[in-house]
Amino acid sequence: MSIATMVHLLRERLYWGEQERVPEPDLVMESQAQTDAFALVGEQDGVLAFLYLYNALQISTLIQPGDQVLDLACGPANQLLYMARLNPTVRFTGVDASRSMLQLAQGTVARSQLDNIRLQQGDITHLGTIASASMDCVTCTMSLHHLPDLSALSATVQEIRRILKPGGRVFLIDFGRFKLRSTQRFFADELGQSEQFTQDYFNSLRAAFSVAELQTAAKTLQAGTQVYATVLAPFMVVVRSENRMPWQPGALQRAQTEFNQLSPAQKHNYRNIENWFKMGGHAPPCTMV
């Protein structure tokens, strides 16, 4: 973690004020420029590949062979690919409200040649096409901030509770809301990506829910759900079930293979986020070498 990053985090830690949430200007990402920019950073050599692998490893401890997993707001399906590759005997469904994103996702899945992913359009606040108590696990990665308000967050969590089987598991990860606009600006600019992606990233950070808001929403979920945030400041927040499954045969080896394909910079970022969460109480299920 750079000195500049530490300075911003310490300022966050010491500041007592709160910043008002600013919903994203485009709640559903339909612009071609937006969808293309987002898809690009999530590809195998993209800047966010490390985060997709981190999430997939966490999710892998919550599922077992034959499970049905629903991924909310799946976007271009880059996260789905990591989950499906690590868990080939699990069936995944990706849902997204954006037709543009689903078109990208369809191409992503087709190129992957994986047969355990299907896609459908849907509003995550009202999953009317998903039967009650039909899912073993529900995931949502870096997408809750797209919701317009707390009412929509509550509706989404209630839908998750409805479609989960008794004892079903959940893994939700998203940005937490920083106290200072300057911190949001710093993190948006730090990745050094395209102007389109940087602006979307900044908008996402401003639209993030607070840890307290996410904790309140999590109370709707089944018993045993825990909320974790990165230490010092809530750059990211995880809401997840604590009941862990044994690793599926070959999953750990497949995860190590995926890790080995990351660039040195991506491996560095992976260990940073792993340690950042670990210091906040969210231990990794395994350590990549």
Which pLDDT tens digit goes with each residue over 239-255? Answer: 999 877 777 778 889 99
- In this prediction the pTM is 0.91
pLDDT at 289: 81
Task: Please name which of 21, 239, 33, 23 lies closest in space to residue 146, comparing C-alpha atoms.
Answer: 23
Token pair 């355990």 in the structure block, residue: 116
Question: Mean of the pLDDT values across residues 185-214?
Answer: 89
Which pLDDT tens digit goes with each residue over 25-68? Answer: 865 555 554 444 444 544 556 678 999 999 999 999 999 999 99
Percent of the chain as helix, strand, coil, to the nearest 5: 45, 15, 40
pLDDT at 184: 93
Which pLDDT tens digit goes with each residue over 166-189? Answer: 999 999 999 999 999 999 999 998
1 has a pLDDT exceeding 90: no
Strand partners, 236: 175
Token readout for 217 is 């929403």
Token pair 């490390």 in the structure block, residue: 50
User: Exposure of 253 by Cβ count < 10 A (0-12 exposed, 13-18 middle, 19+ buried)?
Assistant: exposed
194 has a pLDDT exceeding 80: no
Q: Report how far residue 150's alpha carbon sits from residue 178's, in angstroms, rounded to the nearest whole number.
A: 17
106 has a pLDDT exceeding 60: yes
pLDDT at 3: 87
